[in-house]
Chain A
């Protein structure tokens, strides 16, 4: 192997993956899995569905990576897949008849906690409270604002990449991010110095 997967940049890896290199594809998946998971988490995917959804999305990426025309648009393309898959699942769920579980629901409840590695217990509590406040505030945003602010602040996408991912223009992205920020400033006022 002439290249080092771990050191290669994403564009190079994508190009290799598109040529059928499964080792490169594995590295692409490895690097993107946390992004997919975190995005779904803030889009408010159900805790017991978030892992399955992440897997489905990553599988779609792996399966269709050859169809991506320009490796530089990978991030926008990935986000299109995330958003489509997330809202598709949501729509399907709304259409399907609600099933009532007759078993003890408490027993079947999946506990979902992201491991917390903060060492100071006091800080841990504060961090947790803040994280909940942020998650709830993002949840309250209208869907287009939510997606735009997650892509910007969580993933660090440029306005152009967000515009491509959401099939809109840069002006709209600018507005959505500004509106999301105004709302978040209002909801998170006690935490902003």
Chain B
């Protein structure tokens, strides 16, 4: 159907850039005109748009949740400013969910720290003498090389 100088097939192609607001003003107006006059395309637009809105909303929520988690994680490491620390502590007092998340971060930290400690506590490497010896040998070999190269100018 040709409405607003665009066919329904054109609309199928333009509907995503239209929702993403990636069309020129002129093209956007022509798509809008077609949608106003074509119930079939309008219905299609509504379904896709509501799906996109849901995804967008979910992404915003996810990003917000991550921002909150990031702050909480930095708070557990004592890497936040005094002001942020007070704000987080106030939120922790009010939200059970947030407190649970903080507890989980601390449990993970404890788990990693104790495992790391246990894993290497009996390990004896004794590399220091070898390293110093190697350093001395290299210095000596450098001096010898320098000595023998020096006269051959």
Within the complex, what minimum Cβ distance (angstroms) separates B56 from chain A?
22
What mask results when residues 28 to 57 of chain A are scored 1 for a CB within 8 Å of chain B, else 0?
011001100110000000000001001100
How many A-B residue contacts, CB cutoff 8 Å?
A: 108
Secondary structure of the B side of the interface?
helix
Most B CB within 10 A of own CB, among A25, A29, A117, A118: A29
Shortest distance between the CB of B116 and any CB in chain A (Å): 5
Contacts of A158 in B (CB 8 A): 79
Q: Is the interface of A mostly helix, strand, loop or mixed?
A: helix
In the complex, which range does the number of interface residues on chain B fall in?
Answer: 20 to 34
Which listed segment binds A: B9-17, B31-39, B65-73, B88-96?
Answer: B65-73
Q: Pick the contact of A185 from B66, B104, B121, B134 — CB < 8 Å?
A: B104
CB distance from B5 to the nearest CB of A (A): 48
Tell which of B108, B120, B127, B129 touches A188, judged by Cβ atoms closer than 8 Å: B108
Contacts of A185 in B (CB 8 A): 104-105, 108
Contacts of A116 in B (CB 8 A): 122
- Check A37 against B113 for contact (C-beta < 8 Å): no
Binding site for B on A (CB under 8 A): 22, 25-27, 29-30, 33-34, 37-38, 51, 54-55, 58-59, 62-63, 114-118, 127, 130-131, 134, 149, 152-154, 158-159, 174-175, 177-178, 181-182, 184-185, 188, 191-193
* Interchain residue pairs A-B with the least CB separation, the first 4: A178-B70, A178-B73, A29-B128, A117-B122
Jot down 6 A-B pairs with beta carbons below 8 A, ordered by A.
A29-B128, A51-B125, A58-B127, A62-B132, A114-B123, A178-B69
- Chain B residues within 8 Å of A, Cβ to Cβ: 66, 69-70, 73-74, 77, 79, 104-105, 107-109, 111-113, 115-116, 118-123, 125, 127-132, 134-136, 138
